[in-house]
């Protein structure tokens, strides 16, 4: 019997809980109840977990949708994962390491996990994937799910697709059953690395798309920046993970996710506001004002990407990411976002 715990209860964790909870009822080999670890917060004098368990609504992170009654909010992480052997990690990536440390040595030996987190980390050796971070701490098999998936649209039941990247095929089947639905179509690829690199770096490209919107440059420019961005993400994945599987680029986790992030999405939105304020408002201020407790990811990823590219003397191979970094962090005028060097064809 498999018993699922969702580790994280933000916008996407809450929307994902709706899909998972519905699918738990379709299969006998899953327990009906889905635990959801909620980082406790007080909302108008009440605990968020209490509100979720009585009103079946995450009033802070997914206020417009009811959660199924078999989703149970648990405030203590170790209580939430107790007796669960399938973990779904879905929290902003800056909290993952600490969360894994708390779980270390406390999980049943047959535990498997899937990460819905979009983000990557960096250490002295290079790029650290979220799946590596989980695996290194907890020594369990970890898959990844990523796609053109804006949580509010999924919660509203609008059709979309997503991609599961796996290492262990049997576990991929479990995750397919947990997530695949009529309006949430899953494809699976045997490629953990590129699925995650696309999911993380697209947030940097989305900043460029936001700057483009601030300048009201129009659709041709936006399309060109998406295309150039796609190639730079692919180049980044190849540089740090070798000859990766190009197929993932055309799955939902690749091009489709980049498009949706550059059209909607919080990174694009905040970057547009940053651009309209001519860089005079800080990212921290915009995040606090516009995101209601949600986290921007593109900005920290942008800084980390540039750090590693500088270390490896490779900035010149990523002209768009350099332009984005210069506008976001070096005070370069927003209009320079399309100042691609003549000698470097963007492709
Ligand atoms: N929201 C989306 O549409 C979407 C879609 C696909 C993927 N993702 C990815 O899913 C992941 C989670 O994003 P989200 O949108 O669900 O989160 P969110 O930004 O909506 O919510 C923030 C979450 O962080 C929690 N939190 C705050 N402080 C914490 C702490 N100290 N320790 C642990 N948790 C803390 C909050 O309780 C809340 O659950 C991210 O990697 C994101 O990129 C999001």
279 falls in which pLDDT band (50, 70, 90)?
confident
Q: Is residue 25 annotated as a catalytic residue, yes or no?
A: no
Residue 245 has pLDDT above 80, yes or no: no
CATH number, span 4-190: 3.40.50.720
- How far, rounded to the nearest angstrom, does the alpha carbon of residue 105 sit from its chain's CA centroid? 26
In short, whether 319's Cβ falls inside 6 Å of ligand 1 is no
In short, whether 10's Cβ falls inside 6 Å of ligand 1 is yes
**CATH (one of 1.10.1040.10, 1.10.150.570, 3.30.470.20, 1.10.10.60) for 194-338:** 1.10.1040.10
**Residue 21 known to bind ligand:** no
In CATH terms, are 4-190 and 194-338 the same topology?
no
242 falls in which pLDDT band (50, 70, 90)?
confident
Domain assignments of the chain as residue spans, ordered by start: 4-190, 194-338
**Residue 298 known to bind ligand:** no
- For the stretch 294-305, pLDDT in tens is 889 899 999 999
| Phi, psi (degrees; rounded to nearest 5) at 180 | -70, 130
In short, whether 150's Cβ falls inside 6 Å of ligand 1 is yes
In short, whether 11's Cβ falls inside 6 Å of ligand 1 is yes
Question: Annotated catalytic residue: which of 2, 60, 158, 202?
Answer: 202
Which residues make Cβ contacts (< 8 Å) with residue 87, sequence separation at least 6? 4, 5, 7, 81, 107, 111, 112, 113, 114, 140
Pocket residue to mutate for ligand 1, from 47, 92, 98, most atoms within 8 A of Cβ: 92
Quote the pLDDT of residue 123.
Answer: 87
345 falls in which pLDDT band (50, 70, 90)?
low
**Residue 165 known to bind ligand:** no
* Structure-derived torsion over alpha carbons of residues 53, 55, 59, 62, reported in degrees to the nearest 10: 80
Residue 240 has pLDDT above 90, yes or no: yes
Residue 80 has pLDDT above 80, yes or no: yes
Task: Please state the rounded mean pLDDT for residues 18-29.
Answer: 97
| Tokens at 267, concatenated | 């990174």
Task: Please state the rounded mean pLDDT for residues 242-253.
Answer: 87
């Amino acid at each position: 019997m498999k018993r699922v715990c969702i580790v994280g209860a933000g916008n996407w964790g809450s929307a994902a809980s709706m899909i998972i909870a519905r699918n738990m009822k379709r299969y006998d080999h899953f327990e009906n109840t889905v635990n959801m670890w909620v980082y406790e917060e007080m909302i108008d004098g009440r605990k968020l977990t209490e509100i979720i368990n009585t009103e079946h609504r995450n009033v802070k992170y997914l206020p417009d949708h009811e959660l199924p009654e078999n989703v149970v909010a648990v405030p203590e992480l170790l209580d939430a994962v107790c007796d669960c052997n399938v973990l779904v990690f879905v929290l902003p990536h800056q909290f993952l390491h600490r969360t894994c440390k708390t779980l270390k040595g406390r999980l049943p030996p047959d535990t498997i996990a899937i990460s819905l987190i979009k983000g990557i980390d960096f250490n002295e050796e290079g790029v650290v994937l979220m799946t590596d971070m989980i695996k290194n701490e907890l020594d369990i098999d970890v898959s990844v799910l990523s796609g053109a998936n804006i949580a509010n649209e999924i919660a509203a039941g609008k059709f979309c697709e997503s991609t599961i990247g796996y290492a262990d095929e049997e576990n991929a089947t479990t995750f397919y059953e947990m997530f695949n639905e009529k309006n949430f179509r899953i494809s699976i690829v045997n490629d953990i690395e590129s699925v995650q690199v696309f999911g993380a770096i697209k947030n940097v490209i989305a900043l460029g798309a936001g700057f483009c919107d601030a300048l009201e440059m129009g659709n041709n420019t936006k399309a060109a920046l998406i295309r150039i961005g796609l190639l730079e993400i692919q180049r980044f994945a190849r540089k740090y993970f070798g000859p990766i599987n190009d197929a993932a680029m055309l799955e939902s986790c690749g091009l489709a996710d980049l498009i949706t992030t550059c059209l909607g999405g919080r990174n694009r939105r905040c970057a547009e506001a940053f651009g309209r304020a001519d860089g005079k408002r800080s990212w921290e201020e915009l995040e606090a004002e516009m995101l209601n407790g949600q986290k921007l990811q593109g900005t920290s990823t942008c800084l980390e990407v540039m750090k590693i590219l500088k270390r490896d003397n490779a900035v010149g191979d990523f002209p768009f990411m350099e332009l984005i970094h210069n506008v976001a962090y070096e005070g370069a005028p927003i209009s320079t976002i399309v100042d691609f060097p003549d000698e470097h064809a963007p492709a």
